[in-house]
């Protein structure tokens, strides 16, 4: 009987996993890629936006005022890193502190074009249309169009100080690292999913499965993308393991996924990271998948277990072994 109980547990877990991946979507998205592209252009109008700069301060005010115009409550989370004042922008609906899904992007840009093919350009700041601007634009458009009925389940976080790693002693992902450090145990446990959007605006956008991301969460997103006909963008292949703003969440045992173009586009960390390399269509594909995810998955009260990627293979081994034990015991009687 105990063995049968084990089998039942495995079957239930696998059943939940199958439902999660194969759930049929019903929501019709309204995310507008052209509107998101306008948000990208507005950010770039301030010029390069490295941490601590006046340009980033202006951009921060723009993002805050735009979110507030859509009815969101905005909190500025200040922190200091290497004597530089930095700010994460946090948006919640009706001051909710119980959002179960967190959508994140970094809004700062790289201080130096360290990958530029011209050595003379490598100390110049990057405009960051794609690397910084695109993810922020997607979140801003989601803030505009998400159905009011699901907004209280969502928290939007725009991280500062993500993209200065390796310059003047700076490390990467400082905004997200600080944000996670402020979460108490109950808040960490209440977050069902953290989804990061980073470099999602390239005209030839491809997003493979970032290899450190939570598999169950990744499966749900890729299932939605597939049903929407976006297989050419959301590739069902394994990409690299990337240190990004989702990493501190994974360390904190929070299910997290990184939606990021890989291999990085040629414009990455160069002066060529400009709006003409981006497209409204790419922004719309990612935005519509996330909009649908929020409405269909989070409103459906679905959770995303950590380490789910091993569950199926473990079950393939354990279930037959249990049956063998049962048969052996029966034959001995």
Q: What is the mean pLDDT of residues 13-37?
A: 75
Amino acid 95: pLDDT: 72
Using the predicted structure, report yes or no on whether residue 258 has a pLDDT greater than 80: yes
Could you give the CA distance from residue 184 to residue 188 in angstroms, rounded to a whole number?
6
**Would you call the peptide bond into 197 cis, given omega within 30 degrees of 0 as the criterion?**
no
Contacts of 315 (CB under 8 A, 6+ apart): 10, 13, 14
Its sign, for the CA torsion 174, 90, 215, 306, is positive
Amino acid 14: pLDDT: 43
Mean residue pLDDT across the chain:
90
Given pLDDT bands bounded at 50, 70 and 90, which one contains residue 128?
very high
Tens-digit pLDDT profile for residues 29-57: 999 999 999 999 999 999 999 999 999 99
- 81-119: string of b/e by CB count within 10 Å (b at 16+)? beebebbbbbbbbeeeeebbbbbbbbbbbbbbbbbbeee
What letter does residue 297 receive in the DSSP assignment?
Answer: I
Using a 10 angstrom Cβ sphere, with 0-12 exposed, 13-18 middle and 19 or more buried, the burial of residue 320 is exposed
**Would you call the peptide bond into 263 cis, given omega within 30 degrees of 0 as the criterion?**
yes
Amino acid 56: pLDDT: 98
Question: Which token pair is 93?
Answer: 């609906």
Using the predicted structure, report yes or no on whether residue 12 has a pLDDT greater than 90: no
Given pLDDT bands bounded at 50, 70 and 90, which one contains residue 23?
confident
Q: Are strands 193-198 and 256-260 parallel, antiparallel or unpaired?
A: parallel
Given pLDDT bands bounded at 50, 70 and 90, which one contains residue 308?
very low
Helix-, strand-, coil-residue percentages of the chain, each rounded to 5 = 45, 15, 40
Contacts of 148-152 with C-beta under 8 Å, sequence gap 24+, read 148/93, 149/299, 150/294, 150/295, 150/298, 150/299, 151/72, 151/93, 151/94, 152/92, 152/93, 152/94, 152/96, 152/98, 152/99
Q: Per CATH, which fold does 31-304 belong to?
A: Aminopeptidase (3.40.630)
Helices (DSSP H) in 45-131: which residue ranges? 54-69
Amino acid 307: pLDDT: 59
Q: Quick one: what percent of the chain has pLDDT higher than 70?
A: 84
Weakest-pLDDT range from 52-56, 95-99, 262-266, 324-328: 324-328
Tens-digit pLDDT profile for residues 62-118: 999 999 999 999 999 999 999 999 999 999 998 766 799 999 999 999 999 999 999
Contact 282, 40 (CB under 8 A): no
Given pLDDT bands bounded at 50, 70 and 90, which one contains residue 326?
low
Tens-digit pLDDT profile for residues 195-242: 999 999 999 999 999 999 999 999 999 999 999 999 999 999 999 999
Which one, of 113, 105, 44, lies nearest residue 269 by Cα? 113
Amino acid 16: pLDDT: 42
Amino acid 301: pLDDT: 76
10 Å Cβ neighbour count for 219? 19
Using the predicted structure, report yes or no on whether residue 261 has a pLDDT greater than 90: yes
Using the predicted structure, report yes or no on whether residue 4 has a pLDDT greater than 80: no
Q: What is the pTM of this model?
A: 0.88
């Amino acid at each position: 009987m105990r063995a049968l109980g084990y089998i039942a547990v495995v079957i239930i877990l696998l059943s939940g996993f199958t439902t999660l991946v194969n759930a049929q979507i019903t929501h019709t998205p309204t995310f507008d890629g052209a509107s998101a592209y306008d948000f990208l252009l507005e950010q770039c109008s301030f010029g390069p936006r490295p941490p601590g700069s006046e340009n980033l301060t202006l951009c921060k005010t723009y993002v805050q005022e735009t979110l507030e115009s859509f009815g969101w409550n905005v909190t500025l989370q200040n922190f200091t890193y290497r004597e530089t004042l930095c700010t994460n922008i946090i948006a919640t609906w009706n001051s909710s502190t119980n959002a179960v899904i967190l959508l994140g992007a970094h809004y700062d840009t790289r201080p130096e074009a360290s990958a530029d093919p011209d050595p003379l350009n490598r100390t110049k700041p990057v405009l960051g249309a794609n690397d910084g601007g695109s993810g922020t634009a997607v979140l801003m458009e989601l803030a505009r169009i998400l159905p009011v009925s699901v907004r209280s389940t969502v928290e939007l976080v725009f991280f500062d100080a993500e993209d200065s790693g390796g310059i003047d002693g700076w490390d990467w992902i400082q905004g997200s690292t600080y944000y996670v450090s402020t979460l108490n145990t109950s808040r960490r446990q209440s977050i069902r999913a953290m989804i990061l959007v980073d470099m999602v605006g390239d005209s030839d956008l491809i997003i493979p499965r970032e290899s450190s991301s939570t598999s169950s969460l990744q499966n749900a997103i890729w299932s939605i993308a597939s049903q929407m006909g976006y297989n050419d963008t959301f590739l069902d292949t394994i990409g690299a393991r990337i240190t990004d703003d989702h990493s501190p969440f994974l360390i904190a045992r929070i299910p997290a996924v990184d939606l990021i173009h890989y291999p990085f586009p040629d414009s990455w960390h160069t002066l060529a990271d400009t709006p003409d390399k981006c497209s409204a269509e790419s922004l719309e594909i990612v935005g519509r998948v996330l909009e649908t995810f929020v409405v269909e998955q989070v409103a459906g009260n679905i959770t995303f277990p950590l380490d789910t990627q091993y569950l199926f293979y473990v079950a393939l081994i354990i279930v037959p072994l249990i049956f063998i034990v049962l048969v052996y015991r029966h034959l001995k009687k």
